[in-house]
Structure 1
Amino acid sequence: MFISNRTRPGCVAAKSTSNDTQTPKAGRRNLLQALSLAPLAAMLPAKVWAQNQLLKISHQFPGGTADSGDFRDRICRQFAAEVEKRSNGSLKFEIYPGSSLMKTNAQFSAMRKGALDLSLVPLSYAGGEVPEVNIGLMPGLVPSYEVGAAWKNAEVGKELSRILQEKGIVIVSWIWQAGGVASRTKAVVDPDDVKGMKIRGGSREVDLVLKAAGAAVVSLPSNEIYAAMQTGAMEAAMTSSTSLISFRLEEVSKFLTTGRGQSYWYMLEPLMMSKVVFDRLSKDQQNIIMSVGADMEAIAIKSAKQDDLAVAAVYEKKGAKVVDMNATTVKKWQAIARTTAWKDFADRNESCAKLIKLAEKLL
């Protein structure tokens, strides 16, 4: 398994098992090569194409090792190692952390076209392309990790999986994370706290709730939050507990609202695979991919909960004031969400309306 060691500035570089070091030009060349070869791969017989495959996994998070660092990167590494083992080496992987293979927002579309094999990315980032996926970061809709985990085999999860497969995407691992808020100016707990603040929500739906509460919304990927807060272009950011740690936002924040116990939202960050690529694998390889993906889910929940606790210690050590949510406060945000984000989502099309009703059955 090869781990690319190219990361964005400010990200933790991954340790490579290869002596090769990619240059930006080489990275672009590899991407163009992947794009050009995708149509050729699609024409090959499945038996030939699937014999020995080198698959690329891209994500936006800092790189580390299989045992340390951002747990989303660890999930990718552990997944790759276990699949390679179970497939007797017929499937091997290259992992590209820190959006080093391609830009964060390009990954979903690239998977749909077969130009990228796998990615672990917040599903809501593709909301402009597939509106239904915005349900993966719907404020107030998922009240706990347990409810999030129940989605996979519930009607809402099956419907979401069906929609994604129609769009060329296979969900390999269902990964949920609680969200918190890092702020430069004041703690963000009640909806009234965001009035007039320049704040990043992370999805269309969260942004609608923030706007209704009086905030000035800033839209950008989580790996660009640090620079925006450092310069003062943004005062606060909502993101997952792990991102609050991995992107070192404690260095540019004085306040933290944690996701431990209660949260504004839970975000779906699945490990996904191009259906074009998945369909070219042998049946045995497909079964291995999905089996290992399922095994990763329990590890992901445990790791996410650990980070919900760890983030508080990280910020307190830096001198930040740390506060928690409670059920009463969460209900205030949920009340706003029902009349803004939930309604807006349901009004977008029949498919979205169906998804929101199915999700509410689990509340």
Structure 2
Amino acid sequence: MYERVADLDLTVDEYELADRRRDTSSGFTRRTTTVALHGDGEVGRGEDVTYEPEDHDSMHALTADLAGEYTLDSFSDRLDEIDLWPEPPTRDAARHYRRWAFESASLDLALKQAGRTLGDALDRTYDPVRFVVSTRLSEDGDGRPTTDRVEAWLDIDPDIEFKLDPTLDWDTALIEGLAATDAVRVVDLKAYYEGTDVDTPVDAEFYRRVAEGLPDAVVEDAAITDETRPVFEGCEERLSWDYPITGIASIEALPVEPSWLNCKPSRFGTVESLLESIAYCEQRGIELYGGGQFELGVGRGQIQALASLCYPGAPNDVAPGEYNAPEPQAGLPSSPLEPTARRGFGW
């Protein structure tokens, strides 16, 4: 797949940066930075989805010289030579996120300069994209999770599907209520985060409660330990990974041969790593579904475009950005999203 785009010609004159901010349904204000590469009368854009706001402040001190004539592949080589971080990132994962902002912008620009869509370049068709809504549960007056937000969305659209983040205070009654909706497609146990607001302890009984209570859901980012492994014996095909996945080597290092993976482009850092990993999974029958990072700008369209071309029928966490608003709202596009091809890398 990468060979189909690696030799695209690319002219870069200059770049500029722009901030975006929005409140989210997960209780925080999302901030991202848009990278705009200018060249030959065209503009290619990418989005830095680093989570820590202060890291975006430091980005505006960047003074990299990117002007020149390249191929897409040689521009990536040029990025290897540049430190994109005037100040070290709060978390190392952010290095991939910023690199992806420049890489995706270069892919967008190279395709536009060639007058092509990503589908043209990859010789693939844009298909309608099934999506799920990723949201935290609402809470009652005592701070206990409830199904109210899920039910509010279902009142608006009875066919809506969900990706949810279980927590230790999900009891049996709550899980039974969610199971009764038959709308939960993925549950994210978030075992690999450390020092964040979404860290979730590894607990075998908690895992069993969720896995058995929602038997049709894909189970993402469970820690496989001596205590938790028996929970998934005989149903390993339900397991999926997200946070650890940054390329082929990370896939091969997983504790279980995967049947599912969450494909978040920003985690891969480079176009080459992303496309090689997608091809690797297709060759081995590993099912992919798209993942989002609360993208506020062009990044949202790019994850939707990849889903459309590579895994359109999966439970993709690539819903339109309005689904991340603090409260459910009517009048939004429903799943599946109809494709609208455009020049470049986007939707």
Normalized against structure 1, the TM-score is what?
Answer: 0.27
